[in-house]
Structure 1
Amino acid sequence: MSSTIYQDVFVNGKIEKIPEYIVEDYIQHNPRVETGHEGFINFFKKFQNFKPKFELLNICSEDNMVFLFHKCTFADGTVIKSVIFFVLKPSNCRTLGCN
């Protein structure tokens, strides 16, 4: 599930898929992004203006927690490496929170 959301949303930029993966009232722990899937959609639309290219470097999980370590290269050549943390809702495997 987490690699699918990563591929669909981050790599392929399919913003319309976000509601399929993220619950409406999901909790966002990044202070620059509003809580809820609409907040994430708004953030990601703006983020795409930087023309990011994502590469998944590693993935690990335990119970309903998933950690994705990835590299993001922007059009200007800037490279960042960071961790995306998902907490999955067991009943339907949609994301409750993210950092």
Structure 2
Amino acid sequence: MNLEVNKKNAIAFYQMAYEGKPREAVEKYVGDDYIQHNPDVANGTQGFIDYFERMQSEYPNKTIKFVRCIAEDNLVALHTHQIWPGNDQYVTMDFFRFDVEGKICEHWDSIQQIPEKSANPNSMY
């Protein structure tokens, strides 16, 4: 496993899908099987494509910034800052598992809206 290549590919995959090219992202970065753990997205590559095509259609002006990328063994974790229409801001943490051929084969995520007020002075990043 090449951790730096996996990190680069996880970011490229997610950015490409997020910016409206999920089919191309799947063709380039995903293996034969794709296991999805987000309950809002159907399992498999077509579920992923359908979800991101719908998000692009409904929210074309959303943005994403990759804050951190961490790799270990066959896993890559992305920590992102997303801004959606109406200035709704979210912290996301996505985990991708890579198969032996270096293709993404599994995904987990956690999403939290950034609140307007915090009990502490620290950012969520």
Q: Determine the structure 2 residue equivalent to 1:82.
A: 92
Q: Tell me if the contact between 1:24 and 1:36 (Cα under 8 Å) persists in the aligned partners.
A: no
Q: Determine the structure 2 residue equivalent to 1:13.
A: 20
Deviation of 1:9 after TM superposition, in Å, equals 2.2
Q: Determine the structure 2 residue equivalent to 1:47.
A: 55
Give the match's secondary structure for 1:44: helix
Amino acid at match of 2:103: R
Q: Give a deviation string over 1:68-98, Cα, whole Å, max 9, x none.
A: 000110122100011011001122x111101
Amino acid at match of 1:37: T
Q: Paired residue for 1:60, among 43, 66, 70?
A: 70
Q: What 5-or-longer segments of structure 1 have no aligned partner?
A: none
Give the match's secondary structure for 1:90: coil
Deviates more, 1:1-10 or 1:32-41: 1-10
Amino acid at match of 1:61: A
Deviation of 1:7 after TM superposition, in Å, equals 3.1
Q: Give a deviation string over 1:18-62, Cα, whole Å, max 9, x none.
A: 222123431100111111110000011111222321110100010
Q: What 5-or-longer segments of structure 2 have no aligned partner?
A: 1-8, 109-125
Name segments (4+ residues, structure 1) moved above 6 Å: none
Does residue 1:96 correspond to 2:71, yes or no?
no
Q: Higher strand share goes to which structure? A: 1
Deviates more, 1:23-32 or 1:33-42: 23-32
Count matched residues.
Answer: 97
Amino acid at match of 1:30: N
TM-score normalised over the length of structure 1 = 0.88
Deviation of 1:14 after TM superposition, in Å, equals 1.7
Supply the distance in 2 between the matched residues of 1:34 and 1:23 (Cα, whole angstroms). 17
